[in-house]
Amino acid sequence: MPIIEVEKLHKRYGETIAVDDVSFSVEPGEIFGILGPNGAGKTTTVECIEGLRRPDSGEVRVLGLQPGRDRAELAQRVGVQLQESALQEKLKVREALDLYASFYRQPADGDELLQMLGLQDKRETYYRKLSGGQKQRLSIAMALIGNPEVAILDELTTGLDPQARRDTWELIERVRDRGVTILLVTHFMDEAERLCDRLALIESGTVVATDTPAGLIQRVDRGQRVRFRPSAPVDDALLTAIPDVTGVSRHGDEVVVTGSGNIVALMVTALAGEQIVPLDVRVEQANLEDAFVALTGQKLIHDDHESTR
């Protein structure tokens, strides 16, 4: 039985359709990602799952319960890290965890959580003195203090520096290893590709595709792209004659060869026969961003200040 089931979810605000016929399911023990640009409807979708918003139509079930009807029970079993949250500045880390622990029937061990999240030395530190990464870790701790079966994490690493993001990714993997099913909302391609077992791509309130990251990439994989600068002028015909080469294009003084198989070695051999050396060679494979662009027709714009409703 899926942990989360969303069927034909629809939500509008006045004349704006935020979520339009969204359907997907989340299986036990997986990290399921909702990936899309700012304004695609990701946050509205998870707020309906959390019971913070009532959908106009459609069905949502979490652990077999309905968020609107069974919100009190789900609050005991689902941990939530909101997209934007803040604590009172003079609240200490220990005090914050103790406060949140008091909301649950069977809270987790706060000290154990702080140890797992690398905050054990910050127990007596005021919230205002924590770094951005430490505040994010504390938000994860508060989402987990109730011993949840499901954790919903919304734009978890927005605003963090690269090292803090990588540290947070490792923490999420450790949370999943504890048996917690995770629903992750993100607009970062690398984050989705690194963490998620499966993904729903959302664009303009609609699910465009659902698959594993590798499955999405395979849908649009056109083989390799080899970029280089030739040491002397090269005729396109020399390159298109190479077996498995499917295309040649130029960008300024850069040549881009697309194809499959062992095209790099064959290309170098063909160029050497004309006494041409390929300089600054780069080999690129299709990635999740290529899949997103191909499936939605848009590029993700990483703007942390845009609305993510």
- pLDDT tens digit string along 231-262? 999 999 999 999 989 999 999 999 999 988 88
The answer to whether the CB of 123 falls within 8 A of the CB of 114 is yes
Evaluated on CA atoms 22, 23, 28, 33, the torsion sign reads: negative
Q: How confident is the model at residue 54 (pLDDT cuts 50, 70, 90)?
A: very high
Span 145-156, pLDDT tens digits: 999 999 999 888
The answer to whether the CB of 87 falls within 8 A of the CB of 136 is no
Q: How confident is the model at residue 194 (pLDDT cuts 50, 70, 90)?
A: very high
The answer to whether the CB of 201 falls within 8 A of the CB of 187 is no
Domains and CATH numbers, the chain: 4-218 (3.40.50.300), 221-286 (3.30.70.100)
Nearest to 297 by CA among 193, 204, 222, 188: 204
Regarding beta strands 198-203 and 206-211, do their DSSP bridges make them parallel or antiparallel, or are they unpaired? antiparallel
Q: For residue 151, which phi and psi values (nearest 5 degrees)?
A: -120, 130
In Å, the largest CA–CA distance within the chain is: 76
**Surface-to-core class of residue 279, CB atoms within 10 Å of its CB (0-12 exposed, 13-18 middle, 19+ buried):** exposed
* Secondary structure of 17-40 as H, E, C letters: EEEEEEEEEECCCCEEEEECCCCC
What is the percent of the chain with per-residue pLDDT over 90, rounded to a whole number? 61
Find the helix packing angle between 132-144 and 93-101, rounded to 10°.
20
From first CA to last CA, the distance across the chain in angstroms is: 29
Least confident segment among 53-57, 62-66, 109-113: 109-113
Outline where 117-229 has alpha helix (H).
132-144, 162-177, 189-195, 213-220
Find the helix packing angle between 132-144 and 162-177, rounded to 10°.
10
Whether pLDDT at 83 is above 80: no
Nearest to 116 by CA among 97, 88, 89, 91: 97
**Surface-to-core class of residue 45, CB atoms within 10 Å of its CB (0-12 exposed, 13-18 middle, 19+ buried):** buried
Residue 100: the pLDDT is 92
Tokens of 11: 């939500």
Angle at 297 between CA 309 and CA 263, to 5 degrees: 130
User: b/e per residue, 196-221, with b = 16+ CB within 10 A?
Assistant: bebbbbbbbbbbbbbbebeebbeeeb
Span 109-144, pLDDT tens digits: 999 889 888 899 999 999 999 988 888 889 888 999
Regarding beta strands 224-230 and 254-259, do their DSSP bridges make them parallel or antiparallel, or are they unpaired? antiparallel
Give the SS3 label for residue 226. strand
Whether pLDDT at 266 is above 90: yes
Evaluated on CA atoms 102, 78, 113, 134, the torsion sign reads: negative
Whether pLDDT at 307 is above 50: no
DSSP letter, residue 121: G
How does the average pLDDT of the chain come out, rounded?
A: 89
